[in-house]
Structure 1
């Protein structure tokens, strides 16, 4: 199928500005959708009316979330600003403010119950999420070189917002991490024998570090079971396992554990932050470990820490013991 010159120009602009591959796919999806929705009219022939109609369709007919609406608008604004060469002004629509949700967190016992039903690399990924406060993509993107056993730290390379940071290396995980690295070394050695051995990296790093991309230090800690072709540069490489692979294993473990909460990979990160605050860790330290640029993002976790209520006691707990026992007996 012939490629659209306009879509290819958007793709080129995204890559020139070094947007991530995931962002590229997402932006192109919404731009294509916007063009299809408006009967394939060229964006240069459209304006505020078409954009507003499209966003209203997403909100009313598709019933998408506030975050999805904002993402679609970001993609359209990028297209007009950097490809069409026109600023969108006077739009009768603004970024939707997402509701402020209190994060779901797990206590130590609940985490242990879920981990009891996970094995192998999926168990190790889950413990890294909880023990280091990582986002799932940060854990999956971890390379052998990012683990520093001597300094007891893990480098999060190009995390959200393209920022690097260091986080904790749980000492209890050292033997399991060393075993995982040994597995990676054996698989990589076999790849080299078969004429492969390249790892996947962003295009900018590929040009800069092409000579070391077959080094074991650059290999992913959780490599995919299959080789693939790099979407930008075309070389055959081994990527990391897909996020959906972990999500499926986590879902099974949660169901078996009996934990009655909605648990995702990000729940472990929420639980990491909450646990540190409960143990008295300074909130600035927690902010740094999480990689938050704004302290307000970290402060959300104070809302789930019981100690912030300054010892306030529920009126129900102040009832005379006999009244409570009497009520419990009648209920049963």
Structure 2
């Protein structure tokens, strides 16, 4: 379905137009892909821009300005009761629309107030709680959960892991294109060597079947598929955790075997938390927090943990120093004295 606004902006149906100029949301998608933004960022920006246009009677953004942007963000906070991070994401999408897509530099853009994000202490599980949580997981979900805790990887970094990036000789895993487009090395837990090798054998068998059926081509990042047309069929580029079925690539429509859906592990972690009787609101990201906290408690320096986590600034890693305020070397309560 297509929606035509009062000023002629079309915010619906995807796909390039034949004679008319590109639709606004198609321009947004094109600008995101030129800058190699992730599909998640692209979907988020398109969604917020669509909501912004619909909230203002389908008027073209060129006909609106600071008043409409401020009113939209205020409504999100007062009526929608969204979190500060969500409100800032909406603002980032609108700034991208005006500055990048429409190439409009307006003085009010710098005056829009960003919501102040509250400083929260991360949820961290004790080592015994981590052990109980992992004991409630089975099969591939157990292996992925153990990898999140044992390496500090983010959920999508684990799911997007390729066979070539698991190095059993050097006992390390290479995380490619992490947050901010950065690569890094994380240790390969010795406890998981055999389980990872079995998982890779399973993935190799699936890849062999796909090749025999005329498929087996993995999506390559950026323009590598043009430079190396046959590389997508090589074993090294296949996902360590492949999905059970083939699916259509949303970008080019090719039938491929993608990696597992993140929702499956998220649901498994939630069930395991309830089964283990853990009251803390533990998620997949909690295992990453626990990884950093337990390394800090073991005496590793903050700079090393920053590199393992892939943080751009050490100030981000310093949030885990809350553990230094407890224990036998921490602050002693005056009541205990």
TM-score scaled by structure 1?
0.92
**Alpha-carbon offset, residue 259 of structure 1:** 1.1
Q: Which residue of 2 aligns with 1:81?
A: 99
Match of 2:88 among 59, 70, 74: 70
Q: Which residue of 1 aligns with 2:29?
A: 11
1:286-301 paired onto structure 2 within 5 Å: 286-301=305-320
**Alpha-carbon offset, residue 203 of structure 1:** 4.1
In proportion to residue count, which structure has more helix? 1
SS of the residue aligned with 1:167? strand
SS of the residue aligned with 1:196? coil
Q: Counterparts of 2:63 and 2:108 in 1: how far apart (Å)? A: 17
Q: Which residue of 2 aligns with 1:245?
A: 264
Q: Counterparts of 1:151 and 1:159 in 2: how far apart (Å)? A: 20
Match of 1:263 among 282, 289, 298: 282
| 1:275 corresponds to 2:300 | no
Q: Which residue of 1 aligns with 2:5?
A: none
Match of 1:193 among 190, 212, 215: 212
Match of 1:131 among 142, 150, 174: 150
Q: Counterparts of 2:228 and 2:171 in 1: how far apart (Å)? A: 26
SS of the residue aligned with 2:170? coil
**Alpha-carbon offset, residue 207 of structure 1:** 2.8
SS of the residue aligned with 2:186? strand
Q: Counterparts of 2:298 and 2:30 in 1: how far apart (Å)? A: 48
**Alpha-carbon offset, residue 308 of structure 1:** 8.0
Q: Counterparts of 1:201 and 1:120 in 2: how far apart (Å)? A: 28
Distance 1:37 1:239, change over 3 A: same
| 1:176 corresponds to 2:195 | yes
| 1:165 corresponds to 2:157 | no
| 1:48 corresponds to 2:66 | yes
Q: Counterparts of 2:331 and 2:222 in 1: how far apart (Å)? A: 55
- How many pairs were matched up? 318
The root-mean-square deviation of aligned C-alpha atoms, in Å, is 1.5
**Structure 1 spans left out of the alignment, 5+ residues:** 319-332
Q: Which residue of 2 aligns with 1:213?
A: 232
Q: Which residue of 1 aligns with 2:38?
A: 20
Q: Counterparts of 1:248 and 1:110 in 2: how far apart (Å)? A: 18
Q: Counterparts of 2:325 and 2:173 in 1: how far apart (Å)? A: 30
**Alpha-carbon offset, residue 121 of structure 1:** 0.7
| 1:144 corresponds to 2:163 | yes
TM-score scaled by structure 2?
0.91
SS of the residue aligned with 2:174? strand
**Alpha-carbon offset, residue 242 of structure 1:** 1.1
Residue range with higher mean Cα deviation, 302-311 or 21-30: 302-311
